[in-house]
Structure 1
Amino acid sequence: MKSGLIQSDIQRKWLAKLESVKDEFQSHSEYNDLHSRFPYENIEWLVKEGYTLLTLPKEYGGEGCTVEDMVVLQSYLGSIDGATALSIGWHLSVVGQLFEQEMWEQSMLDRFAEQVKQGALVNRAVSEAETGSPTRGGRPGTHAVENDEGYLLNGVKTFTSMSKGLTHYIVSAYSESDQDVGFFLVERDMPGVEIADNWNMVGMRATESHDLVLNDVQIPKENFVEVRGARGKKPNGWILHIPSTYLGIAQAARDYAVDFAKEYSPNSIEGTIGDLTTVQQNLGKMESLLLSARHFLWSTARMYHEDVEDALLWNETSASKVLVMNQGIEVIVLAMRIVGAKSLEMERPLQRYYRDMRAGLHNPPMEDMAYTNIAKSILGRI
């Protein structure tokens, strides 16, 4: 990453640390992808070194990074290993939003901050097979029944990224007694918590986003931590961890194609394929797409620390994800054109970059919803 783009001491420190383990992280990538194996070693290092404290505010003992810091670091980590970056990004995003927007009671925030400092890993478990993406507003089939000891949870959550590595799950469920959708803090070692071990996807295979199965999971009353929408809906810059990861994957594809163009020299030409006009055109287009995606994403992240109205933040955040995904996919397609049929070899990472990048289309916000919400905003209908 070019030094001129680095803006803070946190970025400098962590970029250097990530650079030091780049080869080690990447040494597991091919095996983890082929076997749908979670990058345990990578995540363990990130926890041990304190990367999981990045978005925890300083007053709680964390690093207190900005959204811009997170976007820069997640972009670089994504270029090293996409599954690692997306997995840990969910934790960073959840922690960042929880504490910035003070979404829980203070006593719960204090308690959870201590758990995060002790190595806790958290993600929201909100998707279900019957409702699809939770961002589309469906009522969860997971039920919370109030009893004398608190709440009894039953249900199945899909797409639980980092499922086997998590210590805590923030589970959405419908409470019959409250007649509302709430979020419940579930700990991994609670009786009745199971992982279905059924993740078998084309892309992001190493995230092990298995189903979370809840069978009569008893939780204390205080673990009913949120009521959906009770505190209003605010722009969430921490969700930019998603396009950041995929920007990194596109960057990795670009880097691979550039190195290949510099080195590959078939005997049918003088020099390398990097001397061919067609290849140079694709390289130039690929670089331009990356530059525009990077600047748009990073400028959006910076807006979260400036005096910007909420409507603009919502639009910029949604558009950032859509633009990064669409241009990132185009970057990888161009990289594969440069490398040619060799790009399909399983021993080369380009085919993994392509599969992982496609998975990002289904991370929130989805393109149709992003465009609809932006349109409603500019029409004054939100």
Structure 2
Amino acid sequence: MSKNLADLNSLEERISALEKIAENFKKRAAEIDEKGEFVYENIADLKNCGYTVLTIPKVFGGKETSLYDYIRLQEVIAQGDGATALSIGWHMGVVRNMYENKWNPKVLAAVYEDLHAGALINAAATEPQTGSPTRGGKPQTKAEKIGDKWVINGHKSFTTMSVVLDYFVVSASIKDSEEIGNFLIRKEKKGIRIEETWDSIALKGTGSHDVYFENVEVEQEDYVETLGGAKRVNPWLLHIPACYLGIAGAAQKEAVLFAKNYAPNSITGTISELPSVRTKIGELELKMLQAKYFLYSVSKKWDETKEEERELLLPQLSAAKLVVTNTAIEVVDLAMRIVGARSLSAKSPLQRYYRDVRAGLHNPPMDDMTIGQLANFSLNKY
């Protein structure tokens, strides 16, 4: 079997190859979590196996992976390590979004060429003063036109993979204007400073540090898109629930294997034969089935829907994130109940899954915004 995922023809083959790679992620996860280090080796492995280029459009020499295939692969990565899955998921989504958002073809061609060679890209949008950009806050980061250059000044927080990014897509308010734009900034530009502030107890390996842009000059063509107006639906954000579904799957496996092997001398056989434990194991399977069918069906529906009708799927995409993420939290909690006090041991991966899966509540779209969307959808339907 080829070591390059891009050379494999089926989803099943790619999943099988990626599962072997994700086993290494699982082996490294405890040490990364303990030290709070970025997942350097894991990201390098994903680059070396060709994973990071799978979402590049066909017209730029890529495989243009479907949404369904993408979330299935992201789930596999998360079963090995959630921080790695969430990190690379942002890159994979931006890789597709910049094409779908119709960036300048000349810029796209140059960036995709670098991506084929292993470059990494992510958005830098969140700021301490505004919080999540999905809430509508105006960036405090400023872009000013000086001569034939744009000059960027600002401070971004929660910039995942900041230490290895080759490109930052930075949102900024245009000086003396009401406009907000995205600017493409290459890592070698002068004036970029990364402050390693990431101290979260969840997903420690994402390297989501603060990044400062101090009088960073970019070309006119690097003003890649104007934001605002009708917001485009971004299906690639489904990598978020896929990540937490993967973490939940890892917790389920850990709990079931524990139950099948733990045999205290107070009973005959293992605890997997106890009615109370069997009930919990059954509930685990039911919750995982519900979450998988929801996420998989929504992603397939996106792939099968005509482009002009895809905007109508926004409530379903948002609902998938809410349901899957909250179900993943329930699964990890239930898995810990099966294992008992041992699940709180520092040696148990369950305590890491418990911390990591909670982070899903704070990734977009937020639950309250989704409920608002669904209310509007229902009120307009009847």
Q: What range describes the TM-score normalised by the shorter chain of this pair?
A: over 0.9
| 1:343–1:351 CA contact under 8 A, matched in 2 | yes
Partner of 1:3: none
Q: Could you list the runs of 5+ residues in structure 2 that have no partner in the other structure?
A: 1-7
How many residues align? The count is 372
Q: C-alpha separation between the residues in 2 aligned to 1:179 and 1:375? A: 30
Q: C-alpha separation between the residues in 1 aligned to 2:228 and 2:68? A: 26
Q: C-alpha separation between the residues in 2 aligned to 1:77 and 1:164? A: 20
Give 1:304 deviation, angstroms.
1.2
Give 1:113 deviation, angstroms.
1.1
| 1:10–1:65 CA contact under 8 A, matched in 2 | no
Give 1:10 deviation, angstroms.
3.7
| 1:234–1:310 CA contact under 8 A, matched in 2 | no
The more displaced of 218-227 and 299-308 is 299-308
The alpha-carbon distance between structure 1 residues 305 and 21, as it changes in their structure 2 partners (threshold 3 A), is: closer
Q: C-alpha separation between the residues in 2 aligned to 1:20 and 1:79? A: 11
Partner of 1:4: none
Partner of 1:368: 368
SS at match of 2:158: coil
Aligned-pair identity in percent equals 43
| 1:56–1:96 CA contact under 8 A, matched in 2 | yes
Query: Quick check: 1:239 aligned with 2:246?
Result: no
Q: C-alpha separation between the residues in 1 aligned to 2:183 and 2:204? A: 27
Give 1:311 deviation, angstroms.
5.1
> Once the two structures are superposed, what CA deviation does each residue of 1:228-256 show, in whole Å capped at 9, x if it has no partner?
036x4332211111101110000000000
What does 1:171-250 align with in structure 2 at a 5 Å threshold? 171-229=170-228, 232-250=230-248
Q: C-alpha separation between the residues in 2 aligned to 1:52 and 1:320? A: 24
Give 1:178 deviation, angstroms.
4.2
What letter corresponds to residue 208 of structure 2 in structure 1?
S
What does 1:59-98 align with in structure 2 at a 5 Å threshold? 59-98=59-98
Q: Could you list the runs of 5+ residues in structure 1 that have no partner in the other structure?
A: 1-7
Give 1:177 deviation, angstroms.
4.2
Partner of 1:128: 127
What does 1:248-259 align with in structure 2 at a 5 Å threshold? 248-259=246-257
SS at match of 2:184: strand
Give 1:361 deviation, angstroms.
0.6
Q: C-alpha separation between the residues in 1 aligned to 2:22 and 2:270? A: 28
> Once the two structures are superposed, what CA deviation does each residue of 1:323-362 show, in whole Å capped at 9, x if it has no partner?
0111110000000000000001111100110101001110
> Once the two structures are superposed, what CA deviation does each residue of 1:175-231 show, in whole Å capped at 9, x if it has no partner?
11443110001111111111110100111111010011111111111111110036x
SS at match of 1:292: helix
Partner of 1:118: 117
Q: CA RMSD in A?
A: 1.5
What does 1:29-48 align with in structure 2 at a 5 Å threshold? 29-48=29-48
Give 1:39 deviation, angstroms.
1.0
Q: C-alpha separation between the residues in 1 aligned to 2:182 and 2:68? A: 28
TM-score, with length taken from structure 2:
0.94
What letter corresponds to residue 258 of structure 1 in structure 2?
V
Partner of 2:275: 277
Which stretches of structure 1, 4 residues or longer, exceed 4 Å deviation after superposition?
none
| 1:250–1:329 CA contact under 8 A, matched in 2 | yes
Query: Quick check: 1:169 aligned with 2:165?
Result: no
Query: Quick check: 1:294 aligned with 2:299?
Result: no
Partner of 2:20: 20
TM-score, with length taken from structure 1:
0.94
